[in-house]
Amino acid sequence: MKTLYEPAAEPKAASAPTGQVLKGLYTGAYRSDKGKIKGLLLQVGEAEFTVTLPKYLRPMLVRELAPDDFVQVWAYPEGDRWRAINILPLPECEAETLRQEWSHLAAITELPQPQQKRLCIEVCSKGKCFKQGGRQIYHDLQAAVDSDPELSHVSVKATGCMKACKHGPNLRLPSGQMLHRASPAEALAKLGAKR
């Protein structure tokens, strides 16, 4: 019980994570298993870091950055990754300095190529579509993707009703194009999945 003469306990301030600025080469986007952008891969000297970005910064990767751009990232370590607070392109004078410092490293000349963009084919798994062959198309597509290493960037996902039941079974490509009564081979051909 507090008395009038006891000083009130100071509320403990939440400890902010200790962060730092990482300056390096943006080598590509870090994506989830479903192909969604979650962050970036950052080459700093010989090391490569996976940096998770907050949602509001993710569109910047697509609109403003290209692989091999130098960036500075304000981030703090979180497990095996870094969590970014902000990201900005590095001024050209600083980028040139880093290029010169890293020119002796073999890793900078042989940077890993960014992963191929993940593509997802959606197959309707509801009612009439599933009964009209959607189930078989889903399993055939999944088997084709699993068995062919050239299709490692393609995923197959069962989804809800696509509101085109009369034309089923229905598939949706990443471009948003709907395919009706298509075979797995047709879907992969339309996707242009094979390199």
Query: What end-to-end distance do the CA atoms of the chain give, in Å?
Result: 73
Q: Token match 């870094």: residue?
A: 82
Class of domain 20-109 as given by CATH: mainly beta
Match 């080459």 to its residue by tokens: 43
CATH number assigned to the domain covering 119-191: 3.40.30.10
pLDDT tens-digit map of 26-77: 888 888 777 788 888 888 887 888 899 999 888 877 778 888 889 999 988 8
Q: Which residue has the tokens 């009612």?
A: 127
Nearest CA among 29, 76, 78, 23 for reference residue 45: 23
| pLDDT digits 0-9 by tens, 172-186 | 887 778 888 888 888
CATH 3.40.30.10 segments of the chain: 119-191
Tokens at 43, concatenated: 């080459």
pLDDT at 46: 78
The pTM for the full model equals: 0.47
What does the pLDDT read at residue 63?
Answer: 78
Which pLDDT band holds residue 106 (cuts at 50, 70, 90)? very low
> Nearest 5°: phi and psi at 154?
-105, 135
Q: What is the DSSP letter of 178?
A: E
Residue range(s) in the chain whose domain bears CATH number 2.40.50.140? 20-109
What is the separation of C-alpha 37 from the centre of its chain, rounded to a whole number of angstroms? 3
